Chains A and B, each alone.
Chain A
Amino acid sequence: MTRLIHFLIVLAVFAATAPQPTAASEPLRPGDILIVQIPGETAFVEPIQVDREGRALLPEVGHVAVGGLSPDKAGVVIRKALAKVYRDLDRLVVYVKERRLAISVLGFVKDPGPVDLADGATVQMALNAAGGLAQGAQLDRIQVRRQGDVITFDYKRYLDTGDKSLIPRLQSLDEIFVPASPLTGNVQVEFDANTLTAAGDAAEDGKAVTVFGEVHRPGTFSFKSGNTVIDLLMRAGGVTRYAGVDQIRVISNGNPVPFNMREYLDTGERRLLPKLGPGDIVFVPQASENIETGARTVYVMGEVFRPGAYETREGTGFLEIMATAGGPTRFADTRQIRILRTDGSVDPFDLQAHTEGTENSALPRVAAGDAILVPEKTDMNEKSWLKISPDRAVRIIGAVHRPGRYEWAAEMSLMDLVAHAGGPRAEADTAHVQILADDGNDRVGSRTFNLKEFLEHGGEFSSLPAIGAGDTVVVPELPKDPNDSRSQWVRQPKEHSIYVFGEVGAPGRYAFNEGLAFLDILAAAQGPTAQADLRSVRITHRGGSDARVTHFDLSLYFRTGDETLLPRVLPEDVIHVPGRNPAWLEKSKENTVRVLGAVGQPGRFAFDDSMTILDLLAEAGGPSDSALQDKIVVVNRSVDGPKAHIFDLVAFARQGDFTRLPVLRAGDTVYVPNIQQSNWRIFSEALRDAVSVLSLVRLAAGM
């Protein structure tokens, strides 16, 4: 045993001290460069390289085998060969100038073939000398073939690590073979690097993981132990913006396993990662195929540049979400933003007011699951009325041409507002313009202004009612026609109404104000009818504490045109236009003359002091055939008692003496006796009676 130990020690020492072949003494290899010099011979100026067969090409001599010989021995061989041609070889010098490697590079390189490399060159240098790797080369399986042996090495790993031990040391006459990737297929086509890498890097399908769907570079990737789905996705270029990251499918060992990457990224829990092995498949579906229902999703809809579902984190604010969605478009109605809560409630938010600082409300809190709706502006051609906040606007409604809501400035007046609204319409009741304003006690007070009077008569500007922002001006409307007045009577307060009854075209209740006059309302009621008795129009004045009725002779107004005749009427008054043939009770005895007796139409007739008894008799149809025309009796209703006179119509007709017309006044009575009541008739009848009596007496006496 001890001997054995000593033997081993001696052997080790021997091995350590044994002479190592130096570079200068190493046998010549193909590619080495020799210097062969014979002074005076110009043919030996150029260096001579050992070819791949180990031969050196000498001038005048030809090939001489020197491969495998030491430099000294090669010198001997060369001298011996040259001696056949050259006599004086005393000063022949042979030495190795440079040791080189003659390598062949084949396979997926750009310029395959023999390459001449300096001594000590590596595989990488050889590949570069061959023009570099061609696209589609399989880097982890490059081969070095040496004297029948094949050395396969992982060039990629060398590139990753820089570890030279991973690649074989080259020897002259080595053959480097770069295989093609299986992905290149069996058909020769042009590849580009992106295509090749996009298709994955797996050399063997059975050991690869296929990643496809919404990733940037779907392909088959070689699986390495410990790789996770995340690693594979990253090698595939990551997911696209359309990827449904919470619905990734992994086919592991033939079993589909869902993978919610979002949840994993949120929580970091490794248990959520599915086990991955060679041959598995990872599919990333499109997000649009499913509705986003993530636990941290907020939805932004409507007029934003990028509506959609957005992920939020704890503390993400409204503005961040809006900014992420690109912000509101120019069509957005930013005053009407709505936030639809998950519990079904809806919160409005006025972004414009918030940005202007006019609203003190905080930004709305947006929680996961909420939806932000940015509606579209209703009218994009006009400036939105919402641009003007209530404390800067004034409203005008009613009978103006453009009622609406207008921006207000304190220096403006009611006239400015009415003018801006296009002025009052024809049917506007400008005498009762109402102004609703905050009275300072959170109540809206109403006051009325007679704009009509101001327009007609003018006045101080200070007499115009003060209008402030936030106020409302109402211009009421007069009924357009009598039918309207009926349908709208409920809208019309009685203090603005007047009543017209009797013989007018459209009796009823009419809108009226103090700026209107009797003829206005009579015309509105379509005027008196043909049956109207214009001489006795009556107006009941209801406004005062005492009952008062005005009688008005409208016919006199028509005859004379005297405006002073027109009665002043006020709202709530009642106008009555009686008919010509009223019930007899309605005719007072003071205003009529009674005509009795033998006339065509006895009765009571209106009479005034422009008429005479002749007019009256004519109106009463004239004396009848049985009238006692020379004894027409007139009874005057005098202040000192009734006084009777007779009128001899027959004598008047004969003589035409107008002085014989009796006085006749309203309240008097005219009686036309019957001819039976004449003196002569009475006398003749009495005479006849007397003769008859006398005859009877004589007969009695004769008997």
Chain B
Amino acid sequence: MTSRLAALAVAGVLAAACAPWPPHGQGGMAETASAEFNGMDGGHRLACTRGHIETMVHVGAETRQPALLHRTRLQWNRAARALAGGLEEDAESDMEQLDVLLTDLIDRLAGRPAKPGQSPSGRC
């Protein structure tokens, strides 16, 4: 009887102690480790966009459109973090906005007037 009671108590304690915690998060600083995206859905697109941004840096974006470049980079960070953190839906939305910013940046650097209505998709 006593042993039975003891077993019941231990089972109850274990049940109480094993409350479910959420999974561990990741991707909070994904921009520093681009290798994380290899094989992910959207990882290629993100890498492609990164390449575009770096190209823009080379053609003088840092001096000619520093603020827009800054915002584009931040948006890339946001998209990368979301993708690496498992927020796929958010990453998709972020990359849409990233494309808008990138298109704007390219247009500005090319001296063309910004075209807000232009679809950014298909760039990468």
Q: Which A positions have Cβ atoms within 8 angstroms of B?
A: 556-557, 559-562, 564-565, 608-610, 612-613, 631, 633-634, 636, 638-640, 643-648, 658-665, 679-680, 682-683, 686-687, 689-691, 693-694, 697-698, 701
The answer on a CB contact under 8 Å between B70 and A564 is no
Convert B9-28 into 0s and 1s, putting 1 for each residue whose CB lies closer than 8 angstroms to a CB of A: 11011101111011111111
The answer on a CB contact under 8 Å between A646 and B36 is no
Nearest residue (CB) in A for B24 is A646
Question: CA A697 – CA B81 in complex, angstroms?
Answer: 55
Q: Which B positions have Cβ atoms within 8 angstroms of A?
A: 1-2, 5-6, 9-10, 12-14, 16-19, 21-30, 32-33, 36, 65-68, 70, 74-75, 77-78, 81-82, 84-87, 89-90, 93, 108
Contact among B2, B19, B22, B84 with A663 in the assembled complex (CB-CB below 8 Å): B84
The answer on a CB contact under 8 Å between B67 and A638 is no
User: How close is A523's CB to chain B, nearest CB, in angstroms?
Assistant: 20
Contact among A639, A658, A679 with B29 in the assembled complex (CB-CB below 8 Å): A658
User: How close is A293's CB to chain B, nearest CB, in angstroms?
Assistant: 91
Question: CA A618 – CA B81 in complex, angstroms?
Answer: 20
Contact among B24, B32, B75 with A648 in the assembled complex (CB-CB below 8 Å): B24
The answer on a CB contact under 8 Å between A679 and B17 is yes
Question: CA A701 – CA B4 in complex, angstroms?
Answer: 14
Question: CA A636 – CA B84 in complex, angstroms?
Answer: 13
**Which chain A residues border B108 with CB–CB below 8 Å?**
564
The answer on a CB contact under 8 Å between B14 and A683 is yes
The answer on a CB contact under 8 Å between B23 and A693 is no
Question: CA A634 – CA B33 in complex, angstroms?
Answer: 21
The answer on a CB contact under 8 Å between B13 and A690 is yes
Given contacts A665-B82, A683-B13, 20 further A-B contacts (CB under 8 A): A608-B74, A638-B90, A639-B93, A640-B89, A645-B26, A646-B25, A658-B28, A659-B84, A660-B28, A661-B25, A661-B29, A662-B26, A662-B27, A663-B28, A663-B30, A680-B17, A683-B14, A687-B9, A694-B2, A698-B2
The answer on a CB contact under 8 Å between B19 and A662 is no
**Which chain A residues border B6 with CB–CB below 8 Å?**
694
The answer on a CB contact under 8 Å between A697 and B5 is yes
The answer on a CB contact under 8 Å between A662 and B28 is yes
10 contacts between A and B (CB under 8 A): A562-B67, A562-B68, A634-B25, A636-B87, A636-B90, A645-B25, A662-B26, A663-B87, A665-B90, A693-B9
Beyond A631-B21, A636-B87, A639-B93, whether A658 also contacts B32 by CB under 8 A is yes
User: How close is A6's CB to chain B, nearest CB, in angstroms?
Assistant: 166
The answer on a CB contact under 8 Å between B21 and A682 is no
User: Would you list the 3 A-B pairs with minimal beta carbon distance, nearest first?
Assistant: A662-B25, A645-B25, A663-B85
Nearest residue (CB) in A for B16 is A686
**Which chain A residues border B29 with CB–CB below 8 Å?**
612, 658-659, 661
**Which chain B residues border A660 with CB–CB below 8 Å?**
24-26, 28
Question: CA A609 – CA B31 in complex, angstroms?
Answer: 10
Nearest residue (CB) in B for A692 is B9
Beyond A609-B75, A663-B84, A664-B28, whether A646 also contacts B22 by CB under 8 A is yes
Question: CA A663 – CA B85 in complex, angstroms?
Answer: 6
Question: CA A608 – CA B21 in complex, angstroms?
Answer: 27
The answer on a CB contact under 8 Å between A564 and B65 is yes
User: How close is B7's CB to chain A, nearest CB, in angstroms?
Assistant: 10
Contact among A564, A612, A664 with B68 in the assembled complex (CB-CB below 8 Å): A564
